[in-house]
Amino acid sequence: MISSESSMQPSPIYSDPQNINTLDDVCRWLCDDDDHQETEEIQSVVTVGDVMKESESESQMGLQNLLEAYADGISMGQIELSKVIVRCINEKTNPSGQILERLAFNLFQNQAEEYLKEESMRNLKMAFRVFYDIFPYGRFAHFTANSIIIESIPTHVESVHIVDFHLGEGCQWPPLIEAVARMNKSLIITSIKLDQDQDSQFDQTKMNLCNFAKSLGLHLKIQEMGMAQMMTEINQRNLGSEFNQFLAFNCMIGLPHMGITRTTTQVMDFLKLATRVLANKKGIITVGDGEEGARTGNYSDFSSFFNKTLAHYKALYESIEWGFPSCLNEGRMAMETLFVSPFIKSESWFQKWDEGRENMGLWQNLGLKGVKMSMDRWIEGRELVKAGESPYGIGIGIGRGNGNEMVLEWRGVPVVRVFAWVVIQQDICD
């Protein structure tokens, strides 16, 4: 269609642009001068379209104002007023509407959305693979963390030990397994099991990864432990004290493809565990955060946290919408329901802000030093997201160290951050 249009002769309307300057000129060209009725109809259609656009814009602005008012009400402790505002918000939400309408729907209509989730769950595995392959959020976080881990492995060690906060489908680890196989080292992966992980897919993931490693001739051991069990292991045999083993603690939280969220307390417990182990052993800590610093940001009140988080998820929704053709809106809705909606709950946002406020000073007291991101990582990250050809971009931030933060951005808004640290007592950066 594009080629056929470009091969057509120029339309008379563009033959003399100086003569066609207004809507009236266009209408006169389309119609005979004496056909006033048809001209008026065309002008009317255009006017109605403009009014509808203005109405939609006003509606979105009104919803935005209501959401901000809700956050202000919660911040000031005006619970009854906030409830009234929520009722007004719910009148404007729509699970298949504009981005802000969908966001507001997920924030407050928790029960009403269950039917969407039930329908979407029927194709969970296929949806997961499509989501992970199409969108760069998980691939960016995994690629960046893996690259840092691989670069940090000393040549003299015989074994690499990964302690993973959430193994899930295990989609992060095949590239690292290949890299370790080429190094002729053995690999251990320990998956942390939390209390809520009763229906864990650990056995299936373990089998898949072990079969993949076996095809490469790599000796891979995968085990699952609770946090308390690992603490016992540390106390009994000083986990990671072996000279010929390199340890990497990996924590991926809030990435959209995960579809689950962890509490700040659980994340902090994991990082404390990592710090304790690495106090007498060289190793590295990598963190991928898909919730825009919800646990690490310094927010004085809930309102500022709410508005920043809302802007984050608006950007995420925009990027998903950009990646899906309009003819596949039902597929997009299923993806949002499965992989984004679980992170958009008013109660959980307040809980994260409250926990983040309580744990604000703990990050500085963990004794961590940032591992600087290399320029190679930045270049490879840009290639991964086709920066310059798409609205995605890659940045290197200061984070909590010296340039130890790589950021995936959507039109300038951060959507995923990856950090790397070592314990200050050990310095593997030099």
d(CA 254, CA 333): 19
> What's the rounded Cα separation, in Å, for the pair 326 and 307?
28
Amino acid 16: pLDDT: 41
Task: Tell me, letter by letter, the H, E, C secondary structure of the chain.
Answer: CHHHHHCCCCCHHHCCHHHCCCHHHHHHHHCCCCCHHHHHHHHHHHHHHHHHHHHHHHHHHHHHHHHHHHHHHHHCCCHHHHHHHHHHHHCCCCCCCCHHHHHHHHHHCCCCCHHHHHHHHHHHHHHHHHHHHHCHHHHHHHHHHHHHHHHHCCCCCCEEEEEECCCCCCCCCHHHHHHHHHCCCEEEEEEEECCCCCCCCHHHHHHHHHHHHHHCCCCEEEEEEEHHHHHHHHHHHCCCCCCCEEEEEEEEECCHHHCCCCCHHHHHHHHHHHHHHHCCCCEEEEEEECCCCCCCCCCCCHHHHHHHHHHHHHHHHHHHHHHCCHHHHHHHHHHHHHHCHHHCCHHHHHHHHHHHHHCCCCCHHHCEEECCCCHHHHHHHHHHHCECCECEEEEEECCCCCCCEEEEEECCEEEEEEEEEEECCCCCCC
**The pLDDT value given to residue 44:** 45
CATH architecture of structural domain 135-297+360-423:
3-Layer(aba) Sandwich (3.40)
Weakest-pLDDT range from 140-154, 159-173, 322-336, 353-367 = 353-367
Average pLDDT over residues 268-286: 89
- Which whole number is the average pLDDT over 369-378? 88
The mean-pLDDT minimum among 144-148, 197-201, 316-320 falls in: 197-201
What is the CB-side half-sphere exposure of residue 58 using CA atoms within 13 A? 6
Q: How far apart are CA 220 and CA 208, in angstroms?
A: 11
57 versus 193: which is more confidently predicted?
193
Distance of CA 37 to the CA centre of its chain: 53
- Which of the given ranges, 26-40, 87-101, 192-206, has the highest pLDDT on average? 87-101
**Higher-confidence residue: 41 or 316?**
316
Q: What is the mean pLDDT of residues 167-175?
A: 94
Residue 238: is its pLDDT beyond 80? no
Q: Residue 295 has what pLDDT?
A: 60
- Residue 41: pLDDT band (50, 70, 90) is very low
Q: pLDDT for 240-276, tens place per residue?
A: 555 688 999 999 999 998 877 778 888 888 998 999 8
Average pLDDT, the chain: 80
Give me the pLDDT at residue 32, please: 44
Instruction: Give the pLDDT score at 53.
Output: 45
Q: Which of 39-43, 197-201, 355-359 has the highest mean pLDDT?
A: 355-359
Output the pTM of the full model. 0.81
Give pLDDT, residue 51: 41
Q: State mean pLDDT over 29-51.
A: 43
pLDDT of residue 324 exceeding 80, the answer is yes
The residue ranking higher by pLDDT, 377 or 119, is 377
Burial of 130 (0-12, 13-18, 19+ CB in 10 A): middle
Q: Is the pLDDT of residue 428 over 60?
A: no
Q: Please determine, for residue 21, whether its predicted confidence score (pLDDT) is greater than 80.
A: no
As given in the structure block, the two tokens for residue 201 are 């897919």
Residue ranges of domains in the chain: 135-297+360-423
Tokens found for residue 166: 């959430």
58-64: average pLDDT: 77
Given a cut of 80, whether residue 321 has pLDDT beyond it is yes
Distances (CA, A) of 113 to 156, 254, 319, 356: 53, 20, 22, 28
33 pLDDT band, cuts 50/70/90, is very low
pLDDT of residue 280: 77
Is 70 exceeded by the pLDDT of residue 179?
Answer: yes
